[in-house]
Amino acid sequence: MTELPVVVPVDRSGEAALRGRIDGKAKPPGALGEIEALAVELALMTGGARRLDRARLLVFAGDHGLNEEGVSSYPSAVTAAMVATLLAGKASANAFARAVGAEVTVVDAGVDADLAAHPMLVDAKVRRGTRNAAREAALTAAEVDQALARGAAIARAAAEDGVDILAFGEMGIGDSAAAALILHRLAPAPLAECVGRGAGHDDAGLARKLATLERAAARTDATAPLEVLAEFGGLEIIMIAGAVIGAASARRPVLVDGFISSAAALAAIRLVPAARDYCIFSHRSAERGHQVMLQALGARPLLDLSLRLGEGTGALLALPLVRAASALLSEVADLADVLEGRL
């Protein structure tokens, strides 16, 4: 296995002092509710009380051999088409990123197409899509290692470039099926509780999806994180898992998006438990398994808007809350200074 970056757990020895500082701000103690708790967590993650401004959304894209079984209501060719839409700046994620002032980069983790070079595109392709997990392992152990290492390196490079906050999204037709299998084994949880409608299955499509995933699950009894990732794949999911670890190793807050990005975060945390300290869960998805996922991760999301698009859209919508929380310690006056006229 490729050696993953070292993640240092958050040092909580200063937590009480940070809470005291927030209580001493020009507001009633606790008046900003969960934002106060988030401000403390951000300061602990980054090692200081400062405003976090520069944010980058990394959208990881990949295709799934499992889609041959009809687990999605869309053909795999839509992945490359949506990558082109993202690169043209016309996807939902692009619009939301402009609205909240975030950069967007698309990462080709395993799209089943040859993508032309583009300034917004990082070519990190491990292979053109995964194998069909209903019939065989989706990936080899070496391919999983490559995806993890490349994801970690991309996140660390963003941190070295001066990015304060990293958000991860995904684009891959069939990826909710792979995410459901990963959740099933790594939570663990009954498969039926992990499988949802994805991008829009009707009842018949949902039944077909569940039956296919039952066949895939019956093929292997893998429960170890690396084995689960190899069996069920999702190069974009695995690369996000590596990116979560890479960002955490650089002490950057990670804004986790919805169901599929949360599956990647779950895998990352099972591999490197300290990575959990750097994850902020942006929203509760409408996808059925996401509540199971959040419970497995002990996560309280910031928003609940019935989203189920992916692309990092939920993470982008939560970004202003994170930026605001980061400003609480560094920009709000102390109550003592207000009362004594030292503004």
Q: What percent of the chain has pLDDT over 90?
A: 91
Task: Give yes or no: residues 195 and 297 share one domain.
Answer: yes
Task: Give yes or no: residues 257 and 123 share one domain.
Answer: yes
Task: Give yes or no: residues 45 and 174 share one domain.
Answer: no
Task: Give yes or no: residues 40 and 73 share one domain.
Answer: no
Biggest CA–CA distance in the chain, Å, is 72
Task: Give yes or no: residues 35 and 61 share one domain.
Answer: no
- Domain of 35, CATH number, reads 1.10.1610.10
Question: Is the pLDDT assigned to residue 122 strictly greater than 90?
Answer: yes
Compute CA distances 158 → 103, 122, 246, 280, 312, whole Å. 11, 12, 10, 18, 17
Task: Give yes or no: residues 17 and 100 share one domain.
Answer: no
Q: With bands split at pLDDT 50, 70 and 90, how would you rate the model's confidence at 143?
A: very high
Q: Which tokens in the block code for residue 172?
A: 């891959």
Instruction: Kindly give, in sequence order, each residue whose CB lies less than 8 Å from that of residue 279, ignoring residues fewer than 6 positions away.
Output: 244, 248, 254, 256, 265, 269, 297, 299
Active site residue 311: yes
Task: Give yes or no: residues 130 and 25 share one domain.
Answer: no
Catalytic residue among 34, 231, 311, 340: 311
CA dist 203 and 199 (Å) reads 13
Which pLDDT does position 73 carry in this prediction?
A: 80
- Domain of 236, CATH number, reads 3.40.50.10210
Q: Is residue 334 part of a domain?
A: yes
Q: Is residue 278 part of a domain?
A: yes
Residues in the chain: 343
Task: Give yes or no: residues 182 and 262 share one domain.
Answer: yes
Which pLDDT does position 198 carry in this prediction?
A: 72
pTM above 0.95, yes or no: yes
- Give per-residue pLDDT as tens, 255-268: 999 999 999 999 99
- Give per-residue pLDDT as tens, 53-104: 999 999 999 999 999 998 988 899 999 999 999 999 999 999 999 999 999 9
Task: Give yes or no: residues 198 and 256 share one domain.
Answer: yes
- Give per-residue pLDDT as tens, 323-343: 999 999 999 999 999 999 988
Least confident segment among 192-196, 206-210, 292-296: 206-210
Q: With bands split at pLDDT 50, 70 and 90, how would you rate the model's confidence at 130?
A: very high
Domain count, the chain: 2
What is the mean predicted confidence (pLDDT) over 279-292?
96
Q: Is residue 6 part of a domain?
A: no
Q: Is residue 4 part of a domain?
A: no
Task: Give yes or no: residues 176 and 311 share one domain.
Answer: yes
Which pLDDT does position 3 carry in this prediction?
A: 84
Q: Is residue 17 part of a domain?
A: yes
Q: With bands split at pLDDT 50, 70 and 90, how would you rate the model's confidence at 161?
A: very high
Q: Is residue 198 part of a domain?
A: yes
Q: Give, to the nearest 10 degrees, the angle between helix 225-232 and helix 235-249.
A: 150
Instruction: Please provide the average confidence, as pLDDT, over all residues in the chain.
Output: 96
Which pLDDT does position 256 carry in this prediction?
A: 98
Which pLDDT does position 201 carry in this prediction?
A: 73
Which pLDDT does position 72 carry in this prediction?
A: 87
Q: What percent of the chain has pLDDT over 70?
A: 99
For residue 242, the enclosing domain spans: 55-321
Task: Give yes or no: residues 38 and 60 share one domain.
Answer: no
Which pLDDT does position 98 carry in this prediction?
A: 98
Task: Give yes or no: residues 332 and 227 share one domain.
Answer: no
Q: Is residue 274 part of a domain?
A: yes
Q: Is residue 1 part of a domain?
A: no
Closest by CA to 262, choosing from 235, 278, 283, is: 283
- Give per-residue pLDDT as tens, 19-58: 999 999 999 999 999 999 999 999 999 998 889 999 999 9
Which pLDDT does position 22 carry in this prediction?
A: 97
CA dist 282 and 275 (Å) reads 16
Rounded to 5°, angle at Cα 86 from 85 and 91: 75
Question: Is the pLDDT assigned to residue 195 strictly greater than 90?
Answer: yes
Which pLDDT does position 197 carry in this prediction?
A: 76
